[in-house]
Amino acid sequence: MTNPAPETSPLSAWWRHGVILVMVIGFAVLSFVTVKTYSNAPPIPGRVTDERGATIFTRDDIEAGQEVFLKYALMEHGTLWGHGAYLGPDYSAEYLHRLTEIVRDTVAGARFGRPFAGLEMGAAAETAELVRSTLKQNRYHAESDNLVFSPGEVAAYAIQKGEWSSYFSGTNPAPGLARGYISDPAELTALTSYFAWAAWAAAAQRPGKDYSYTNNFPYDPAAGNHPTASTYLWSALSLITLLAGLGAVLFLVGRFDYLGWHGERQAQHLYDSPLLAWRITPSQRAAGLYFAVVVLLFLLQVLVGGGIAHYRVEPGSFYGIDIARLFPYNLLRTYHLQLAIFWIATAWVAGGLFMAPLVGGSEPKGQRVGVLLLLGALTVVVLGSLGGEFLGINNKLGSLWFWLGHQGSEYLDLGRFWQFLLAAGLAGWLVLMFRALRPAMRQPERGQLASLFLYAAVAIPLFYLPALFFGPRTNFAVIDNWRFWIIHLWVEGFFELFATVLVAVMFRQLGLVSVRTATRMVYLDAILFLAAGIIGTGHHWYFTGQGTLNMGLAACFSAMEVVPLTLLTLDAWDFIRLRHLHSEPAVRAVAADHKWTIYFLMAVGFWNFVGAGVFGFLINLPIVSYFEVGTLLTANHGHAAMFGVFGLLALAVLVFCLRCLSDNPGWKRSERLVKISFWGLNLGLGLMMAIDLFPGGVLQFADSLANGYWHARRLTFLMTGTFHVLEWLRIGADAIFIVAGVVPLVLATVQRVLGRRLAGAPAATPP
């Protein structure tokens, strides 16, 4: 008996065992860190009193203030402990710095009879040191659940109540917000109490430690906040783990050269293309409607993005028009982030629905009806949540704001009711996927890839469940922990895994790889992405109430996230070679017909390395993150990683499916538009980063180093000097992105989906 060919023999079970082992260890560590969050989170005192015992505010005031913060979407305006949006200040840093200034004057007045600015050098130095020691002293008594404020802190709270009231409801509106945005005095008082608690946690030392609950973030020397020794230590050690990881993986890839999309060289790429014999099914034609929705949401998202970019150069108007009354900055930024998630997820949902019958080999009865019903359900979630957010931030929903309006957590803005509907819709998607994939899952040769396709799809709704694990009064440290379980594990874990599966399935349908190679690549990427990405989630928690254990683990593992991203540059080269290696002319013609799909995938590999790898690694170092979190360097990484990777991948799926839905003459009419879009999107994104996001982020980082984090986030810095000029210059890059990138793709998609095409045409019609 002859041995099976390398590309048809069964794949070793140790690939599956390796993925399971990585996930078990990773989630065990991450779960331990999460449990520690509940005990490490800064305590919310039952009462805050002055030194005579008079109550200043209570736990209920702090929690009510957090509800105000979330209900009015202030995290989509400014930041708290560095997390949120970029137009408003960091509220915790701003309160802390004003607290420092007021305490200095209070101490100087009590000791020397005049304000701090009038003191001689020696008296000023003595006062500044006393202020730092006062703010660092932790006066919270766990036994009585009571926090005692010094006289200076009491005075600062009284003064800042007026200042924050004026900021949100005064005659000069906050940048990007409507005049009188928050007018209820009780809400403004509660909000100030919340900021006071956040600033106290940022300055007061943990019991038995020489650093605060936020590891001395934000940087403010006047308040005694400097980087901790652990911040320096783990930044250095993370570089060692990066070099070790890179060396080990590159050695393995060099030693076992079949660890790539080319597979075993002996196979000569003699695989058929299932597309050659496939005719488009009714459910696949229905899935085409999803892509019309995708490009319209994409267009709306980038137009909204242009609006929030303009707020950063003219925060009071839009070329003289006061749009903040209807579309304030925080609402537009909410829409910008949420629409990005919606159109990317919709493209992947549609891609899964389109490719599942191809992988399964047939279409289940009634699949088209299910596809159309799911599209209707997703439409309800999109329109309902967007409308609810508009009503919620305008205080039109009363006590239902959390359920129907704006939850207030960045990236998880839609109300809890809409989250449940979204989860239900994704569950319905899994049912449709299972029905289509089930025939292939029963076959030994194709079953493993089909099963992986389903399992990767299951991970997306499964890891959305942590969005339901907190409420509006949960400690902010705990909220941020669960929030990044979703954001990070979606984006840098299971989105990456699902992306690999989609690429594997597309390449298999094109006949460029065997089932064995596609399956092995899914396992390999799963091991590499999840080994670093699961525990690396903690790099978002360096300064949000976690201890130094998380910093050490997260710094080292998140540094190794660069390793799989580096390998993606090798994937890009494989994509080029695969188009030319097949010996069958018909299959090579199919690959050539889908060349723009391959180009988009090559761009994904490039931006994954640059945006997620280089720029992600840069800001993941604890010492860099300490000074830059919440600056344009974060936005620089976010744009390159979110759109450059997941956005372009979604568009690769869109282009693949559009080509399958089109006859040759129809595709020729649209291909030129797709080509223009490809270059417009990549050029626009590259210029956006080169002109503004990266150099502007460096300027902001430098200002944070020189003057303190609070200063780099103030409007007085954002609206002046070279930084402001760069923000204006970005308009050219945005115009290229929208006009040359998005608009042609919208036209091509509408042409293909809504225009005439051959009913039941083959999925591939080689010339």
- Give the pLDDT band (50/70/90) at residue 749: very high
Q: What domain range is 353 assigned to?
A: 274-444
Tens of pLDDT, residue by residue over 195-227, are 999 999 999 999 999 999 999 999 999 999 999
Query: What's the CA gap between 462 and 427, in Å, rounded?
Result: 9
184 pLDDT more than 90:
yes
Pick from 88-102, 235-249, 434-448 the range whose average pLDDT is largest. 88-102
Q: For the chain, what is the mean pLDDT?
A: 89
Q: Clarify whether residues 351 and 437 are in a common domain.
A: yes
Cβ-contact 75, 619 below 8 angstroms: no
Residue 435, pLDDT score: 95
Query: What's the CA gap between 762 and 663, in Å, rounded?
Result: 8
User: With pLDDT > 90 as the criterion, what percentage of the chain qualifies?
Assistant: 67
Q: Clarify whether residues 78 and 215 are in a common domain.
A: yes
Q: Clarify whether residues 201 and 333 are in a common domain.
A: no
Q: Clarify whether residues 209 and 83 are in a common domain.
A: yes
Q: Clarify whether residues 328 and 420 are in a common domain.
A: yes
Distances (CA, A) of 72 to 92, 290, 385, 443, 673: 17, 32, 15, 53, 41
Q: Clarify whether residues 293 and 360 are in a common domain.
A: yes
The last residue of one of the domains, among 444, 462, 495, is: 444
The lowest-confidence range among 9-23, 258-272, 614-628 is 258-272
Residue 377 lies in a domain: yes
Residue 48 lies in a domain: yes
The last residue of one of the domains, among 226, 252, 287, is: 226
Distances (CA, A) of 616 to 399, 558, 604, 684, 701: 39, 9, 15, 20, 15
Cβ-contact 619, 539 below 8 angstroms: no
Neighbour count for residue 78 (Cβ, 10 Å): 25
Residues facing 321 on adjacent strands: 318
For 573-581, which contacts have Cβ atoms below 8 Å and span 24 or more sequence positions?
574/260, 574/261, 574/262, 575/261, 575/601, 575/602, 575/605, 576/602, 577/262, 578/261, 578/262, 578/269, 578/507, 578/512, 578/513, 579/512, 581/262, 581/269, 581/512
Contacts of 634 (CB under 8 A, 6+ apart): 86, 619, 628, 697
The lowest-confidence range among 1-15, 83-97, 553-567, 606-620 is 1-15
DSSP letter (8 states) at residue 103: H
Residue 296, pLDDT score: 97
Amino acid, res. 260: G
Residue 501, pLDDT score: 84
Tens of pLDDT, residue by residue over 275-323, are 777 889 999 999 999 999 999 999 999 999 999 999 999 998 888 888 9
Residue 545 lies in a domain: no
Query: What's the CA gap between 258 and 191, in Å, rounded?
Result: 58
| Both tokens assigned to 420 | 């449940």
Residue 719 lies in a domain: no
Residue 630's SS3 state is: coil
| Higher local confidence (pLDDT), 522 or 258 | 522
Residue 86 lies in a domain: yes
Cβ-contact 132, 210 below 8 angstroms: no
Residue 570, pLDDT score: 60
Q: Clarify whether residues 222 and 339 are in a common domain.
A: no
Nearest to 632 by CA among 217, 312, 177, 409: 312
Residue 136, pLDDT score: 97
Q: Clarify whether residues 278 and 382 are in a common domain.
A: yes
512 pLDDT more than 80:
no
- Give the pLDDT band (50/70/90) at residue 132: very high
Q: Clarify whether residues 80 and 157 are in a common domain.
A: yes
- Give the pLDDT band (50/70/90) at residue 685: very high
User: With pLDDT > 70 as the criterion, what percentage of the chain qualifies?
Assistant: 91
Conformational region of residue 424, where left means phi above 0, alpha means psi within -120 to 50, and beta covers everything else:
alpha
Residue 259 lies in a domain: no
Tens of pLDDT, residue by residue over 321-353, are 889 989 999 999 999 999 999 999 999 899 999
Residue 392 lies in a domain: yes
Residue 196, pLDDT score: 98
Distances (CA, A) of 202 to 72, 138, 143: 23, 11, 22
Nearest to 415 by CA among 430, 427, 403, 426: 403
Radius of gyration of the chain (CA): 27
Q: Clarify whether residues 196 and 334 are in a common domain.
A: no
Cβ-contact 26, 535 below 8 angstroms: yes
Q: Clarify whether residues 189 and 84 are in a common domain.
A: yes
Residue 305 lies in a domain: yes
| Both tokens assigned to 471 | 């409420």
What does the pLDDT average to over 753-764? 58
Q: Name the domain count of the chain.
A: 2
SS3 content of the chain, % helix, strand, coil (to 5): 70, 5, 25
Q: Clarify whether residues 220 and 286 are in a common domain.
A: no
The lowest-confidence range among 298-312, 378-392, 486-500, 536-550 is 486-500
Amino acid, res. 686: G
What does the pLDDT average to over 355-376? 94
243 pLDDT more than 70:
yes
What does the pLDDT average to over 134-154? 97
For 202-209, which contacts have Cβ atoms below 8 Å and span 24 or more sequence positions?
202/81, 202/92, 202/93, 202/96, 203/96, 203/99, 203/135, 203/136, 204/135, 204/136, 204/137, 204/138, 204/139, 204/140, 205/136, 205/137, 205/138, 206/138, 206/547, 207/138
Query: What's the CA gap between 132 and 130, in Å, rounded?
Result: 5
Neighbour count for residue 27 (Cβ, 10 Å): 15
Residue 335, pLDDT score: 97
572 pLDDT more than 80:
no
Domain containing 416 — which CATH number?
1.20.210.10
The last residue of one of the domains, among 426, 444, 462, is: 444
3-state secondary structure 613-627: HHHHHHHHCHHHHHH
| Higher local confidence (pLDDT), 509 or 686 | 686
Tens of pLDDT, residue by residue over 577-608, are 655 555 566 656 767 788 899 899 889 888 88
- Give the pLDDT band (50/70/90) at residue 249: confident
